[in-house]
Amino acid sequence: MTEKIAKRIEEIAIELTNELSVVETPGELDSVNKIFEIFSKMPYYTENPEDLFFVETGDKLGRKSVVAVLRGKKSSSKKTVVMIGHTDTVGISDYGNLQEYANRPYELMEKLKEVTLSEEVTRDLNSGEYLFGRGLFDMKTGDAIIMALMEEIASDIENFEGNLIFAGVCDEEGNSGGMLSVVPKLVEMQEKEGLEYLALLDTDYMTSEFEGDENKYVYIGTVGKLMPSFYVVGKETHVGESFKGIDPNQIASHITSRINLNPEFCDVAEGEVSLPPITLHQRDLKTEYSVQIAKSATLFFNYATHCSTPDEVLVKMKNAANEAFQEAIDTLNNRYSTFCEMAGRKQELLPWKARTMTYEELLAAVEKENASVKDIMDEYNGELMKDEDLDPRTFSLRMVEKLHSLWSDREPVVVVYFSPPYYPHIYVEGTAEKEKNLIDAVAEAVDSTKTDYRLVYKKFFPYISDLSYAAAPKDPAIIAALKDNMPGFGSKYDLPLEDMQKLDLPVLDIGSFGKDAHKFTERIEKRYSFNVAPELVYKTVMNLLKK
């Protein structure tokens, strides 16, 4: 890339960083407006103002995303590369007494010199090779790369063949309100204008994957995420008759032991291994102190996917929970037997039976007894919706509790369901033509870029991101498994699944390189980020449009 573009990227990255845009604050609007302002100064947009517009999220904060379309004048080609970058950042409390400098990189770096930092951070700070600042790495430099390249292309639009769309999306660090409102807009443009989308490219950050990792990655495809959740009903008892009950906390603990960080649940695709599930929440649902054990408990996991779909994950989790339930019963039987021996009592097998059902199966069981259960649940859903502040995870749990309470069966059971959110993985196998073109475009870009950095392209962007919303599983059975087992789907939590299915794009991420995203030592390495990453982005886009 030319030095001129590298300089321009730095300039824009700093300008955007100066606009503090912490997620879920009014500041989010400032960075979006700044992007709009920078584009609107380009002659292309003074001549074509309709190609620069906002997409409202419709939320309470009035947040919006900004979309810039660039239409090449060399031909009437409908080929289009869609690019996204998020405009929000995480909070700044981690900067402590340096908060006021978090968004002023050059001043921040002077101030950081007065702070005790790790050896590596100190080295980077003094090297002159890094720039520090909140959002600079995640991901305003990425936004700047796209913007500077579009500015360059726009300056010679007569000789550009094809089209580019950039969406600067808000709320990525929160609930993806930006991307989820942009997806239907992209589909609308595709249908109305006959644009032929080739791929969705993100420029979110890229970092070392392990200690001493010197590779610089380009990722094709993205990881997905589900949140398998469990509602555990035990049998309450007084502590004085402890073996007469079964503690849902004990069952929940066995479920955690069975699933947490267990590589058995890793997805492997082309040698790329997803991280195993990790527990995010586990607690019983007793609200007061008493000498009665808890009646129910709940837990959920973050479950990363490369190839498993919601229906498959549901089955795996149901089986795992049932095995864990049986283990809990076996453990209790062993302990009871030892206790009886010690106390000289007659031994009997405890009466518990392991059983696990999905939310959907529970609904069917209750419906057999009560034909109007769906109406009751709809009404309850409406009631819960009145409390806007209710967390979506709690919403789902309340729905499960309510449904279970309508059942005449009071025996111990584990109900498996999904809590929001859901991020589909996108596996770019190379079987479809679009996928193959993307893989080739990246390969050519990487192979033709001369640099002393070790460039590597691989599958699956490893961080949860808006890229996931570029597609959704098309099999109705998969979608049904998700919707029918995520209580509150379609009301409290929603995804534009049909539009995601229509978009159906292979995705990739070519990010700036840096370190410590979401930490106050967040920083980018300038040479790679301003020179090499933009070259890779530019070449990939051009290769795609040529195919």
Identity of the residue, 160 or 423, whose beta carbon is nearer to Zn ion in the bound complex: 423
- Give the integer Cα–Cα distance in Å for 281 and 264: 20
CA 302 from centroid of its chain's CA atoms: 11
CB of 524 to Zn ion, least distance (A): 13
Identity of the residue, 89 or 282, whose beta carbon is nearer to Zn ion in the bound complex: 89
CB of 241 to Zn ion, least distance (A): 53
Classified as helix, coil or strand, 102 is coil
Residues 443-472 that bind Zn ion (CB under 5 A): none
Site stretch for Zn ion (CB under 5 A), options 133-141, 153-161, 175-183, 363-371: 133-141
Classified as helix, coil or strand, 113 is coil
How many other β-carbons are positioned within 10 Å of the β-carbon of residue 320?
22
Buried-exposed string 248-268: b where 16+ CB fall within 10 A, e elsewhere = bbbbbbbbbebbeeeeebbbe
Beta carbons of 70 and 163 less than 8 angstroms apart: yes
CB of 481 to Zn ion, least distance (A): 29
Beta carbons of 279 and 298 less than 8 angstroms apart: no
- Give the integer Cα–Cα distance in Å for 23 and 466: 14
- Give the integer Cα–Cα distance in Å for 55 and 228: 32
- Give the integer Cα–Cα distance in Å for 4 and 531: 10
Site stretch for Zn ion (CB under 5 A), options 45-53, 137-145, 238-246, 468-476: 137-145
CB of 139 to Zn ion, least distance (A): 4
Angle at 502 between CA 497 and CA 506, to 5 degrees: 100
- The residues facing 416 across adjacent strands are 230, 358
Identity of the residue, 23 or 482, whose beta carbon is nearer to Zn ion in the bound complex: 23
CB of 392 to Zn ion, least distance (A): 21
CA 423 from centroid of its chain's CA atoms: 6
CB of 172 to Zn ion, least distance (A): 6
Identity of the residue, 179 or 416, whose beta carbon is nearer to Zn ion in the bound complex: 179
According to the binding rule CB under 5 A, does residue 28 interact with Zn ion?
no
HEC profile for 465-511?
Answer: CHHHHHCCCCCHHHHHHHHCCCCCECCCECCCHHHHHHHCCCEEEEC
According to the binding rule CB under 5 A, does residue 139 interact with Zn ion?
yes
Identity of the residue, 138 or 151, whose beta carbon is nearer to Zn ion in the bound complex: 138
According to the binding rule CB under 5 A, does residue 138 interact with Zn ion?
yes
Please name the amino acid found at residue 326: Q
Residues 193-252 that bind Zn ion (CB under 5 A): 204
According to the binding rule CB under 5 A, does residue 16 interact with Zn ion?
no
* Binding string, residues 334-353; x marks residues near Zn ion by CB under 5 A: --------------------
Tell me the number of residues near Zn ion by CB under 5 A: 3
CB of 205 to Zn ion, least distance (A): 6
CB of 62 to Zn ion, least distance (A): 22
CB of 86 to Zn ion, least distance (A): 6
According to the binding rule CB under 5 A, does residue 84 interact with Zn ion?
no
Residues 49-68 that bind Zn ion (CB under 5 A): none
Please name the amino acid found at residue 252: A
Identity of the residue, 246 or 517, whose beta carbon is nearer to Zn ion in the bound complex: 517
Catalogue the E-assigned strands of 243-365.
268-269, 272-273, 278-284, 296-305, 356-358
CB of 85 to Zn ion, least distance (A): 9
Binding stretches for Zn ion (CB under 5 A): 138-139, 204
